[in-house]
Structure 1
């Protein structure tokens, strides 16, 4: 087991986070390559400027996993989001990304623990996420962490929609 540390993001982290987000997103969702729609999405969603804005609004939204001063994973929480089904308003883990080389080493578990610690301190009783239905590795991970399936919903990009499982966890 490697020694990982976890901490909230700072403005100076935005460039490295942008690269990490893009790398994991392409590795996970680029199963058919990089389309124009896909390129537009990741270029906007993971821009340095957008990440800086997220950190300025609330540094607690991003938790970074660090190994030897390098970023290996990140969790992003969006507070008070409504689930696409089920009428639940709670924090959403909108991203839990771990570099492929560090999967299976406890980084995702550590990030989840840090998120749960923060949410518990803030008085939340549960939180949720959605995950691409074909991402069986992530679904299995979340189920092992105690998340429960409440239904499926579609994530819409420009022209395409992608089916996701919606999962909730009680704290």
Structure 2
């Protein structure tokens, strides 16, 4: 798809990040989880205070995917001590790649993924890792197709519901 731009976020993008973060997460997982757990998770994870802290974190970066100035997805990466589960000083974590539902299948997630790879290479990261919900076969296939392999699991608390994430990584060297 042409006219897709990837732009780094600043603190001034907080409200739009909150809106798109809640929308894309609810679109992706709302139908598989209870409304109560989703509401609790969205309120905690996408509060303005939490997003402000994440946006100001020197070891995290956010990027929007835009088509003709419309925000259609976003990426969050972490390194150093900001990784959600510290792996390695020379590792980069993809914490989030989300795309608005109507734009799925249009290579936007792939472009955000390539941005993460570019960041990892610029930082001389040894590998990129991420956690993906075991009940999300579409995302698992996407990462496998891009060369990621499973190396572990961890728990993920979605509004009080303890779920299992598959940890996957891809060597960059």
TM-score, normalization: structure 2? 0.87
Alpha-carbon spacing, 1:127–1:71, altered in 2? closer, same or farther (3 Å): same
The answer to whether the Cα contact below 8 Å between 2:60 and 2:79 also exists between their aligned partners in 1 is no
1:141-166 per-residue CA deviation (whole Å, 9 max, x = no partner) reads: 11111111113332134532112211
1:61 aligns with: 61
Partner SS for 1:6: strand
The answer to whether the Cα contact below 8 Å between 1:5 and 1:67 also exists between their aligned partners in 2 is yes
Partner SS for 1:13: helix
The reply to whether residue 17 of structure 1 matches residue 17 of structure 2 is yes
Separation of aligned partners in 2, 1:124 and 1:36: 38
Cα displacement (A) at 1:31: 1.8
> Where do 5+ consecutive residues of structure 1 fail to align?
none
- Once the two structures are overlaid, the 10-residue window that deviates more, 34-43 or 144-153, is 34-43
2:170 aligns with: 169
1:75 aligns with: 75
The residue correspondences of 1:101-116 to structure 2 (distance < 5 A) are 101-116=102-117
- Once the two structures are overlaid, the 10-residue window that deviates more, 124-133 or 58-67, is 58-67
TM-score, normalization: structure 1? 0.88
Partner SS for 1:113: helix
2:39 aligns with: 39
Separation of aligned partners in 2, 1:158 and 1:66: 30
Separation of aligned partners in 2, 1:170 and 1:162: 26
The answer to whether the Cα contact below 8 Å between 1:65 and 1:71 also exists between their aligned partners in 2 is yes
- Once the two structures are overlaid, the 10-residue window that deviates more, 118-127 or 58-67, is 58-67
1:132 aligns with: 133
How many corresponding residue pairs?
168
